[in-house]
Amino acid sequence: METKQLATLVVVEHDNQSLSVDTLKAFNATSKITDDGATLPVSALLIGHQCSAVLDALKRVQGVSQIIVIDAAEYQHPLAENLSALIAEVGKAYSHILAPASTFGKNLLPRVAALLDVGQLSDVVAIESLDTVIRPIYAGNALARVRSNDAIKIMTARSSAFDLVAMSDSPVVENVITLETTIVAEHSEFISQQKVKSSRPELPAASVVVSGGRGLGSKENFALVEQLADKLGGAIGASRAAVDAGFVSNDLQVGQTGKIVAPQLYIAIGISGAIQHLAGMKDSKVIVAINSDPDAPIFQVADYGLVGDLFEIMPELLEKV
């Protein structure tokens, strides 16, 4: 497969109103894709419907040389089945295609890779050269250096490994191309979306995350986590065990099979620290753990640990905060 240009295409995640934080971090990752020290030209692919607000934000992203806009009613609700075919069509002209390693990116890019008959570099945490990246394996216990010989490098960037891209106060991207290409999904259709609405910050964007585990014992006791998060202006997270027990919905799960976060402060309450959970939060700047078991694995990664009964500690902590 021949590529037409040495350049990067970033698939933009959005809700037709605003850019996702994960996408802003993916843009930062593109600055590491260099050829003889020079960053490759970066194009942003915006697919949606009535998404002018997102376009306005994209124009302020530093480092973007071109924005490709496809605005059509068919893309009001993103479906991987037709989006992937469209991305593959546009992306075949690029040497690198990149998206955040969010649910959005994980749903789309493997399909794009299959359509282009290339492999995928998943959950990339560092980019060393045009063809070599670093990605975690074994639930983050080891890092693998992976080289791709494919003509098109398709990768998802782990958001916790990259900072937010710099944005200007005024538009800096002048090259905007509008395409009329639309591909209708023949075998799937959008029915409905169930999304938890909360005044709390989203997990990937929060600077403070308070997570609860099985140690809380019940859905009612999980209110202790919510109260602390509200006092600290933070987001709520949970371990797989807490989600499986029905304490909270699965969109709050932090870990290998949930969301990967790296806030300034991560507080783990009643979480033992299974390796799958640690994989989702161990890059946090400061980790605080509260657990009754002094041998709990969570204490091995915690900066501050408090051993004791959380039902005695939490009311006192809430009072003092």
Q: Tell me how far CA of residue 58 lies from CA of 24, 53, 168, 176, in angstroms.
A: 9, 9, 10, 10
Which 3 state secondary structure label does DSSP give 318? Answer: helix
8-178, superfamily in CATH?
HUPs (3.40.50.620)
Which 3 state secondary structure label does DSSP give 300? Answer: helix
- How do 8-11 and 96-100 pair as beta strands? parallel
pLDDT in tens, the chain (321 residues): 444 579 999 999 999 999 999 999 999 999 999 988 899 999 999 999 999 999 999 999 999 999 999 999 989 888 899 899 999 999 999 999 999 999 899 999 999 999 999 999 999 999 999 999 999 988 788 999 999 999 999 999 999 899 999 999 999 999 999 999 888 888 888 888 777 677 788 888 899 999 999 999 999 999 999 999 999 999 999 999 999 999 999 889 999 888 999 999 999 999 999 999 999 999 899 999 999 999 999 999 999 999 999 999 999 999 988
Q: Tell me how far CA of residue 179 lies from CA of 42, 70, 92, 311, in angstroms.
A: 17, 5, 15, 58
Q: Is the dihedral of CA 85, 89, 95, 101 positive or negative?
A: negative
pTM of the model: 0.85
Q: What is the residue type of 102?
A: S
In order, the DSSP letters of 178-229 are E-------SS-----------SSPPGGG-SEEEEE-GGG-STTTTHHHHHHH
Dist CA 104 CA 83 (whole Å): 11
Dist CA 174 CA 36 (whole Å): 26
Which 3 state secondary structure label does DSSP give 117? Answer: coil
Domains 8-178 and 203-320 share a fold: yes
* Residue listed under structure tokens 């590529």: 3
203-320, superfamily in CATH?
TPP-binding domain (3.40.50.1220)
Q: Which of 187, 111, 199, 113 is nearest to 154 (CA)?
A: 113
What residue segments make up the domains of the chain, in order of their start?
Answer: 8-178, 203-320
What counts of helices (H) and strands (E) characterise the chain? Answer: 8, 17
Residue 288's Cβ-count burial label (10 Å; 0-12, 13-18, 19+) is middle
Q: pLDDT tens digit string along 25-71?
A: 999 999 999 988 899 999 999 999 999 999 999 999 999 999 999 99
